[in-house]
Amino acid sequence: MDLTGGLSEELEFVFAEQPDEPEMRESVNAWIWDDGVDVALPRIGIEAVADQWDTHDAQVNIAASGGRVFNLFAPAPVHPPAGRDGKPRVLGAGPLSFELVEPFGLLRLRFEGEAYATTVEAQMEGAFPGAGEPTPIELDVELRPAAPPWMNGALLDDARHVLETQEEGDLMGHPWRFEQLCRATGRIRIGDEEHAIDGGANRIRRQSIRRTAKLWGHAWQAAIFPSGRGFGYITYPPRADGKGTYNEGYVFEGDGALIPIRATTAPWLTTLQPTGEAVPCVLEAEDGRTWSITGETA
């Protein structure tokens, strides 16, 4: 299997120095789940913006059993980007780091610090991140690609046209942002409890200018199943002006290339529910084939 999807390995390396364009962003993010139900990382990542290059923004979100949540949102001092071979392999901020061990082969994630304890219910009531009790967290996870990467706008002509001509491109970070399904293995310690992680992930790489002030929402789902099959898509709610909006994704059948699709059914967030909410989607290829995927929030 070609896990590069034809993309250059150079896209995997981070900026070696501060970009000249003040709005340029460097980003490595991952959404990670264990095949069990004890722990997941709905988002963990670093956002580096050129005009604030002395610090990068670290974001850590951990969901644990019983509705517990642990968050960290904070700027932190940057790590030197050079790996042992001198290539820019590391994007780090304070207690959090991502190390590119092998392009399209292995990404290592580490965190050692504190996150703030809260609950799903408190978040729904508007609890401000960082208001809870500081909790020691140790995290060490390896991400290994399990499907070719998806460069947004590369699968459907109309999706690329939207990104090139409408504000959805700024919202996404066009012209280059890609995501890739991975297997995730490692461990996490939350206070005195420790969990193994053996599951999946959706990792995101972005090096572009991104402006999100006008973001009016999106539906974004992805999964890699034990069989090796997987899917991913992003679509936006209908625009107020009636123009078409971004709707693109793929199905992966376990080998070969990604199959381009559009989401014809997506689970829009219209109510707040801690768990057990149905989140199905229906995906359709240009040749008329469809895939229906069911799921519920945990």
Counting beta carbons within 10 angstroms of the beta carbon of residue 201, is it exposed (0 to 12), middle (13 to 18) or buried (19 or more)? buried
pLDDT of 277: 94
Is residue 181 a contact partner of residue 199, using CB atoms and an 8 Å limit?
no
Distances (CA, A) of 3 to 27, 234, 256: 20, 21, 10
Is residue 204 a contact partner of residue 28, using CB atoms and an 8 Å limit?
yes
State the Cα torsion 256-106-32-237 to the nearest 10°.
Answer: -50
Residue with tokens 């951990």: 62
How many Å apart are CA 178 and CA 152, to the nearest integer? 6
pLDDT of 298: 85
Residue with tokens 């491109």: 169
How many Å apart are CA 13 and CA 26, to the nearest integer? 10
> pTM, whole model, 2 decimals?
0.96
How many Å apart are CA 298 and CA 211, to the nearest integer? 31
pLDDT of 187: 97
pLDDT of 290: 98
Q: How do the pLDDT tens digits run along the chain, 298 residues long?
A: 899 999 999 999 999 999 999 999 999 999 999 998 889 999 999 999 999 999 999 999 999 999 999 999 999 999 999 999 999 999 999 999 999 999 999 999 999 999 999 999 999 999 887 778 999 999 999 999 999 999 999 999 999 999 999 999 999 999 999 999 999 999 999 999 999 999 999 999 999 999 999 999 999 999 999 999 999 999 999 999 999 999 999 999 999 999 999 999 999 999 999 999 999 999 999 999 999 999 999 8
pLDDT of 37: 80
pLDDT of 158: 97
**DSSP-derived secondary structure for 70-139:** EEEEEEEEBPP-B-TTSSB-EEEETTEEEEEEETTTEEEEEEEEEEEEEEHHHHHTTPPTT-SEEEEEEE
